[in-house]
Structure formats: C-alpha cells, structure tokens
Structure 1
C-alpha cells in the first residue's frame, strides 16, 4: 500500500513539474493562437493569447493542489488590466459532474466583448462593462442547463451610442444575474437608467427570452427618444414594450 502512495506522489510531482510549453503539443482551435508560454503546467503564464482577433497579454494560471484531496480540480486564473482590452480574476473548479466559479471578476471595453460574442447592436455603441460572480455552480451542464446556482451582477458603464452623427451619453446599465429553475441564466434590469429600460429575461445556448419596456425620461437623449416610436404605441404610463 505504501508503495502505491509513493508512486502516486511521484506521478503528481512529475505532473506539477512538467513545463507549461507542453501546451504547444495540444490541439488548439484555428481561431486561437498562443505564444511566449513559460512556467510549469501547474503554475504558468501565456505571454500572448489571441482569440477571434482579440489579443490578451500576460495570462496566468495557478492550479490549487490541495483541492485534489476534496475530489475536484481548481485553478486561479488572472488576466491583468494593464495592456489588455479586458481583465479576469477568479477561481474555477470542477468535479466529476459539477463546474463552479468563485469570486470571479471581469471587466473590459464593450467593443471587445461584442467582438468575442460575434454580436452587432442596431446602433454603434461604445463604453465599458464589468462582471462580478460571487457564486456559480452547474451540475451536469448541457446546452439548455447553464446553472444550478448563480449570484452576481453585470454592469454596462459609461455607455454611449451614435445618433445622427453625434455620440450620446447614456450612463450605466446595471443587471442582476440569477438562475432559473429551468437552469437558464436570468437577467433583471430595474429601469433606473437613462432609457427607463426595464427587463426580465433568461438565456442558454438554445434560446434567449427577453421582454421589457423603455420609457423616455429627462435623461434620455432627444434623438434616441424619437426612435422609440418604432416600437409601437406607448401604454398609459408612457412605456414602450419589446420582446426578443
């Protein structure tokens, strides 16, 4: 029995000491490129990571050895804000059937996020965003099941849109994140913003359901308020309804 423990410790030590450059031997998707890899497989650094034309510099990881004794693997990931279009910092862990994230923080510019998501908005938009995930857990994940537990928030900050050739400032748009019984991620916005935008929605990889209202207020840019008429007639409270 003691011999098997020694073998296990030896194999674990061998794995820890493997150079991070072993990543170069792994199959990498065509839209992803990496360079300047250093450190070990257990604790290393990628000097430059390019995904869909977006370059991230100085990405670092640190696997948590003690988590193995709890039956799961966990890694701390960090992309610093310096010289990067987005920043990430947090812990991701996985068991046999469960994936989790703890104290995950991310932020960046909106243009980069839209590029990574391959998404275009009706109006040219710029600004920043941040994401804060306190707790995230999903068991037996699937295209329709994205979460079992989720506590967090997202925020679009200093958002601007181009209307009639001029940039209009819209301010911030905070969103509360949660988890529906169906396993979809829920989005909630309370309407306290420059567009009077309030919404409820849920999203997974198979479906997006979002419904809500916009209501012009004194903070709504005039040119943008005039566009609301294309949503139809307002209700008795001046709200225009929409659904996606």
Structure 2
C-alpha cells in the first residue's frame, strides 16, 4: 500500500501535466490577462507545441512565433520553452533559443537575436553627420536571469557583422565588431574590439544600476587608413606612445 500511493500520485501528475500541455493554445490565451499593448493573431496548436502567425507590441509587428514547452520543467517549478520568432517582422528581426520563468524570475539561455543595423539606428537619435552603416547585429545570450532594472546575472556577446561604414569623406573598412558582456546585480560590463587594415579599436564600458555609465575607448589608424581621415587627425589630441587616440566618457542614460 505504501508503494501504491506514491506511484498513483506520480501517474496523476503525469496525467495532469499531459492534459494541461495539450489544451489548445487559443483556449488558454482567452483566459490570460494579456497586456493591452500585446496583440496575437493566427494562434494554432497546443499549449505544449504552438504557433502565433503574428505578434504585435504597441503596433510594432514582430512576425510569427513558434514555441515548444518542456513539460518536465513543470516538476522543478519552471515554465520553459524553445522559441523561434521573427518571420514576417517589420523590423526584419529573427531569433531562436530557450526562455522561461522560475522562482528567480524570467530567464533565457542560448538565445540568438539578429536584425539589420539600419533597423537599430531607426530607434537611435539622429547622427550629426550623414553616415551609412551596413551589416547585421547579432545578440547572443549565453545565459541571463532578469531582475530590475537590468539583470540578476548574465553573459553573452554582441556582434556587428559589417565590412565598412560610408561617410561623405570616404569609406572606412571595419570588419566584424565583437563585444562581450557580463551582468551581475544589474551592473553591466562590456568589452568591445575591432581590427582591420584601415583601423583598430577597443572600448570598455560599465553601466551601473542607477543608469550612470563610464567608458574608455581608443582607436589606432592602420596601414591603409584613408587619406581623407588622416587629414582630420590634426584636430584630435596627440596619440599615445603606441599610436592610439584615447577617449573617456561618463554620463547618465536618459
């Protein structure tokens, strides 16, 4: 009898989880208190393996999303899903990875998000000079646990896959720009670098929970640094002993 009770409870839990995850996704969404800014259309499949043909947030179209829940994670007090999203997005954003919710808060790991750099710049303040940026920006989150205002912990990288920027003076070859970041108690540290025959550069940035930041950066002209840019170097402070022009910044995000 002592063995029958635990076995019965286990079988009941398996049955309950199976019943829940196979409920049609649209039925579940009808009872969820979704934010008014969120719009879902074309929902199909089950809670366990479903799809929404369109996802909108504040009238921005983020395209379709597919998800597949991991039922066994329920037994550990987590809700976790493999997701793929972005097809048909106005921002041309695409992504895939694992997201979830635990007692520690929302989390993600092995999450990759990509979009054109031009779409990123549309959300940024206008530049004082006409500069054309090309390529894709790819955010890779190795692991992250969210906590206000930024994150409880996390690591990842941000890669700008480009070959050049175009200015009224000339084109400047960059090559990939790679930035690795880490977060601990909402303090974010970022280390970026880039190298090409035109120029090499690096930057270190620290963003604090109170939205203040400190940054140090340098660049060094390469062997094929365009002449049009070389003529502008006279307006900068003298380089250091290694030929690097250094800068420091500090301030507060809006």
- TM-score bin, normalised by smaller chain: 0.7 to 0.9
Pairs aligned (count): 235
Please, which runs of 5 or more residues in structure 2 have no aligned partner?
Answer: 250-254
Alignment of 1:95-110 (within 5 A): 95-110=102-117
| Whole-angstrom CA distance in 1 between matches of 2:176 and 2:162 | 6
Residues 1-244 of structure 1: pairs in structure 2 closer than 5 A? 6=12, 10=16, 13-14=19-20, 16-20=22-26, 23=29, 26-30=33-37, 32-51=38-57, 54-79=60-85, 83-84=88-89, 85-115=92-122, 118-120=123-125, 122=127, 123-137=131-145, 141-143=147-149, 146-150=151-155, 152-164=156-168, 168-180=172-184, 183-193=186-196, 194-203=198-207, 206-226=211-231, 232-244=237-249
Deviation at 1:50, TM superposition (A): 3.6
Q: How big is the shift at 1:52?
A: 6.1
Q: Which moved more, 1:226-235 or 1:63-72?
A: 226-235
CA contact (8 A) 2:104 2:145 kept: no
Give the unaligned 5+ runs of structure 1. none
Aligned partners of 1:37, 1:179: CA distance in 2, in Å? 35
Instruction: Report if aligned partners of 1:175, 1:189 keep a CA contact under 8 Å in 2.
Output: yes
Q: State the shift of 1:55 in Å.
A: 3.2
**C-alpha displacement at 1:226, in angstroms?**
4.8
How far does the alpha carbon of each residue in 1:144-164 deviate from its partner, in whole angstroms, 9 at most, with x for none? Answer: x524242x3221111532311
Aligned equivalents of 2:227 and 2:233: distance in 1? 10
Q: Is the 8 A contact 1:100 1:135 kept in 2?
A: yes
CA distance in 2, matches of 1:100, 1:109: 25
Larger radius of gyration: 2
CA distance in 2, matches of 1:239, 1:183: 31
> What is the alpha-carbon distance in structure 1 between the residues aligned to residue 141 and residue 57 of structure 2?
23
Report the more deviating stretch, 124-133 or 48-57. Answer: 48-57
For residues 79 and 234 of structure 2, the distance between their equivalents in structure 1, rounded to whole angstroms, comes to: 53
Give the TM-score of the pair, scaled to structure 1. 0.76
Deviates most, 56-65 or 183-192: 183-192
